[in-house]
Amino acid sequence: MPIVSSTEIINHAKEGKVISFPTDTVPALATLPTYCDLIFAAKKRPPDKPLILMGSLGEDLWPYVTGTEKEKKIWQQITQQHWPGQLTLVLPASKKVPSVMNPLDPSTIGIRVPHHQLALKLLSQTGPLATTSANLSGEEPLFTPTDIVQTFSDVFILDAPQEVYLGSGLPSTVAKWTQQGWEILRQGGIKLEG
């Protein structure tokens, strides 16, 4: 079975393999941004559902977005309040973002810093990873390593006690930056006003 130690999972991630680890919401599937097609294939995910770039610090994610100095200040203010945490910001993508992360709209990217110690430790070693919930597209998220193994036999899963995999069970709140301010695309664990 592909349940591996933290050292092994970091190595697999750096090699561009698909991995799974717990977060503050639901367990994630993840890989290096340039290997996103592996996640889309494994999940049977349609291209109209983009992936989220997850990092251990906001500083790791800012190079992947572009905006005016005024916009960046606004974005950093909201992340100071809610990161690490259950908030995904959809922002204008920089040239550093592979278009495969958001095939139908490569001009934007969702970014997030989770509030989960194991996830943060792993992401600090791998750098930002393209992520999504651990489930087949359109199905409920999987919450245990056993369920993840049964559904995704080619994914390397972090060996951790089952209770570590239990996040809030709620998806992250997704807020997209527009010319008029924030547009709430999905209300999740954090309550934001549009």
The neighbour count for residue 5, using CB atoms within 10 Å, is: 11
- CB half-sphere exposure, 86, CA atoms < 13 A: 20
- Please tell me the distance from the alpha carbon of residue 37 to that of residue 23, in angstroms, as a whole number: 22
Q: What is the pLDDT of residue 164?
A: 84
Assigned domain for 194 exists? no
pLDDT of residue 193: 73
Is residue 65 domain-resident?
Answer: yes
CATH at residue 57: 3.90.870.10
pLDDT at 194: 62
Q: Judge whether 61 and 128 are in contact, CB under 8 Å.
A: yes
Q: How far apart are CA 85 and CA 128, in angstroms?
A: 16
> What's the pLDDT tens digit per position in 80-108?
999 999 999 999 999 999 999 999 999 99
pLDDT of residue 1: 53
Is residue 192 a part of any domain in this protein? no
Percentages of the chain per state (helix, strand, coil), in multiples of 5: 35, 25, 45
State which residues of the chain have pLDDT below 50: none
DSSP state of 25: S
- Tell me if residue 78 falls in helix, strand or coil: helix
Of the candidates 170, 70, 62, the one whose C-alpha atom is nearest the C-alpha of residue 109 is 62
Q: Report pLDDT for 9.
A: 97
- The pLDDT assigned to 42 comes to 96
Domain of residue 77, residue span: 3-186
In a domain, 85, yes or no: yes
Greatest CA separation for the chain:
49
The tally of domains found in the chain comes to 1
Residue 121 lies in a domain: yes
